[in-house]
Amino acid sequence: MKKLVLLAGVIAAGLMGLNLTPARAYVIDGSVLDWGIDLSSANSKGYLDSHLPSGGLDTDTVTEDNADKYHKWTEVGPGWAYYNYFDAEAIYFDNDQSYAYIAIVQGLPISGYKVNGYPRFYPGDIGLDLNHDGVYEYGLDVREYDAADKKAKLFNNLTASNWQDVYYPAFSIANPWEIKSGSTFNWVDFVYSENQNSHYVLEAAIPLSYLGLSADPGAAISPLTVHWTMQCGNDYLNLPADVNPVPEPGSLVLLVTGLFGLAGFLAKTGLPAGRQV
């Protein structure tokens, strides 16, 4: 019995020195395979419309795949897409206990759409509206990110005046597209992928604490809106999403509790003669 109590004590002491923070739900690498999406298969119109992510705890999704690499001009709303450019195809959102995860699939390279070799229209920044008033008080700076360290600036305390409207006033429904000013920010993990079968992925992991949110057990569900468009405003997506509470991992804690409980039970009841534990 003394050995059992000693074993429980050793495990408990070991747990105190372990990092019990669970692994992230998604790898921020610009691939959406861990979301259950294979962009190498996205060869036909309608692929993302019918393909929901298989990963995650309670994934929120919006898709609108109205263009592909085979159709020169396709209406996407409010404007038009040239092949796959200017097509905002999908936004995925999920969270674990510590992070909010965002993945956006669209058709613009980070250098923008080029006319006669010159960049014309650029991809926009990611907006987060937590107050549900149409103002994105958080914004993730997409084009000015640190590609070497895979980091981007998450601005907070933004107002409507901190955002830039899209190029075409007729497409104002797509507003806003870019953070034009801001001074308060945190660095977060972010990747803008290379070309994946005429698609590009914007993927981020944002600490919930940076958003003033919690996914602790018993916390209230926190709704938010994720917004993305491009400079021209030809297409845009808004995703109503929820940050859901997540139970803490407890398997190791339960193991130690069980060992101490067993030791206590044996101490109380005793063992048959001649047996030692």
Question: Is the CB of residue 253 less than 8 Å from the CB of residue 16?
Answer: no
| pLDDT, averaged across the chain | 85
The owner of tokens 């796959």 is 84
- What is the pLDDT averaged over residues 217-238? 96
Of 11-15, 75-79, 130-134, 229-233, the one with minimum mean pLDDT is 11-15
Beta bridge partners of 123: 230
Q: Three-state SS for 244? A: coil
Query: How many other C-beta atoms can be found within 10 angstroms of the C-beta atom of residue 251?
Result: 6
Please count the CA atoms within 13 angstroms of the CA of 138 that sit on its side-chain side. 24
Per-residue pLDDT at 116 exceeds 70: yes
Per-residue pLDDT tens digits for 146-199:
999 999 999 999 999 999 999 999 999 999 999 999 999 999 999 999 999 999
Cis upstream peptide for 176 (omega within 30°) = yes
Question: Is the CB of residue 8 less than 8 Å from the CB of residue 260?
Answer: yes
pTM, entire model = 0.84
Strand-strand pairing, 118-121 and 126-129: unpaired
- pLDDT-based confidence at 23, cuts 50/70/90? confident
Residues near 124 by beta carbon (within 8 Å), at least 6 away in sequence? 142, 176, 177, 178, 228, 229, 230, 231
Helix (H) or strand (E) holding 227: strand 222-229
pLDDT the model gives residue 118: 81
Selection from 91, 234, 225 nearest residue 173 by Cα: 234
Q: Determine the Cα–Cα distance for residues 79 and 131; give it in Å rounded to an integer.
A: 28
Per-residue pLDDT tens digits for 34-77:
999 999 887 777 788 878 888 887 899 999 989 988 889 999 99
CA dihedral 156, 161, 163, 166 (to 10 degrees): 160
